Amino acid sequence: MMRLVCSWVLLLFALWVAGCANTPLTDERPQAGPLAGDLPTFQTPPSPEAVSLEKIEPTGDLSLVQALSLSLLHNPRLEASAWQLSASEAAILQNRLSPNPVLGLKVENFGGNGALSEFDSAVTTLRISQAIELGHKRSRRTRLARNEYTKSAWDYEAQRLTVIEETGHGYVDVLAGQQELELAQQALKLAEDLHVIVKDRTVQGVTPTSELDKTVVQVTAREIDLENKTQQLSSARQRLAALWGSSTVQFSRLTGRLTDVQDVPKLDALRQLVHRNPDIARWTAEIAARKAAVDVSSAKAIPNLTVGGGMRRFNATNQDAYVFELGLPLPLVNRNQGAIRRAKFDLLTAKALKRDSQTSVHTRLIELHNTLNANHHAVTALRDQSLPAARSAFDAAQQAFQHGVTDYINVLDAERTLINTQYKYIESMAAYHKTLVTLEAFLGTAVTVEDALL
């Protein structure tokens, strides 16, 4: 009896050691896409208890590459997506494990009447049983877990591209804010200079007092505008820093340039890149997962075989005997037919949603391309036509005013036109770059020769 017990204990220990073997969960961890793929990104440590990377706040000038690196390493939502990816990886481990063996002890024929009132007539059975999965259940559910992991990997890539897009937008907003603040300072200086000129001419009796009052109003308006631009830039800087999880802003200025605007790529060339879009790419894994779910449901219709054995002790005769058992459920009623039908319908649903996603992605691509074309046209038209004309009109009005040929109202009108055109130019450049960032994040790859913001 003891020899058999020891044999079963050794067998259980061997099974436990095999279940605890430290083998790789998967070799299918995808690489980052080409857009900012060379920048370091947050990776989950081997243990959930490990400490995250230490964040070093930037204190000097900040480039776009530095901002992207900070966001990709420390963005909380991207970190959460990375942990979710690791959770999907752990599910592969769980699904590839076999059922545990069952160790049982059964005592019969005791505590009754007469000769059965004691343990002298008791029958003790020690057995161990193991469920043997049929229908390739383990391999099929493991394949399903791997497909779910691939889906999570595309969700992670989508979140990574979202962080890149948000960082690019935030970077452009701060760049535009810097330029608008400088323009507001220049506009205030110009208004103050004109105020001094009008004041001198008023003292000389050349210009009426009403025009001096207009310059005071203009200086006040420019002061208000400068304060608004200052606060807007502060908010934009804070939103950018929040993308890498910072509540305070420690960097000084951004080093990018909004003025570098490149030609818009052809739509046909962009269509060749659309396969990198996560909303399209993930459906390959989604369809595979739904097919794997059908296989898993079909496998569950096949019952598992239970095999067991052990030793039975008869106290009345002080004898031992072996016990063997074999069990197989009879699938007379429940053949998992409902779950199989549902899995098949889910597969058909996924195929329909894939077609819808493809249509939506191509429609969105056309919309982004049209918007980028419109923004590019606005930038070039303002740069090449409107701005030179506005500067020329202001210079002419200023010279005419200094020579006493025209009054201050014409100078004021020309100045407003010039400042508003410059603001519009900055806004158009920002809209162009933000649309370009959105397009690149949408396609998951760069679409220009070089990044104009670097």
Q: How far apart are CA 290 and CA 135, in angstroms?
A: 18
Query: What are φ and ψ of residue 334, in 5° steps?
Result: -95, 105
Higher pLDDT, 383 or 8: 383
CB burial of residue 157 (10 Å; 0-12, 13-18, 19+): buried
Mean per-residue pLDDT of the chain: 88
Q: Are residues 277 and 128 in the same domain?
A: no
Residues spanned by the domain of 330: 101-132+302-335
Query: Which amino acid is present at 69?
Result: S
Q: Are residues 370 and 320 in the same domain?
A: no
Residue 223 has pLDDT above 60, yes or no: yes
Q: Does a structural domain hold residue 448? A: yes
Q: Are residues 172 and 106 in the same domain?
A: no
Q: Are residues 78 and 188 in the same domain?
A: yes
Q: Does a structural domain hold residue 239? A: yes
Number of domains comprising the chain: 2
Q: Are residues 308 and 454 in the same domain?
A: no
Q: Does a structural domain hold residue 13? A: no
pLDDT at 88: 93
pLDDT at 18: 46
**Rounded mean pLDDT of 306-323?**
89
Q: Are residues 279 and 245 in the same domain?
A: yes
Beta carbons of 296 and 356 less than 8 angstroms apart? no
In this predicted model, what pLDDT tens digit does every residue of 394-443 receive, in sequence order? 999 988 887 778 888 888 899 999 999 999 999 999 999 999 999 999 99
Strands (E) across 262-301 are located at none
Q: Are residues 251 and 291 in the same domain?
A: yes
pLDDT at 17: 45
Q: Are residues 114 and 166 in the same domain?
A: no
Q: Are residues 208 and 261 in the same domain?
A: yes
**Rounded mean pLDDT of 290-304?**
95
Q: How far apart are CA 130 and CA 54, in angstroms?
A: 48
Q: Are residues 162 and 271 in the same domain?
A: yes
pLDDT at 13: 46
Q: Are residues 122 and 259 in the same domain?
A: no
Q: Are residues 330 and 226 in the same domain?
A: no
pTM: 0.87
In this predicted model, what pLDDT tens digit does every residue of 165-222 receive, in sequence order? 999 999 999 999 999 999 999 999 999 998 898 888 888 887 788 888 888 999 999 9
Q: Does a structural domain hold residue 270? A: yes
Q: How far apart are CA 422 and CA 427, in angstroms?
A: 9
Q: Does a structural domain hold residue 237? A: yes
CATH of the domain at 115: 2.20.200
Q: How far apart are CA 451 and CA 359, in angstroms?
A: 29
Q: Does a structural domain hold residue 287? A: yes
CATH of the domain at 428: 1.20.1600.10
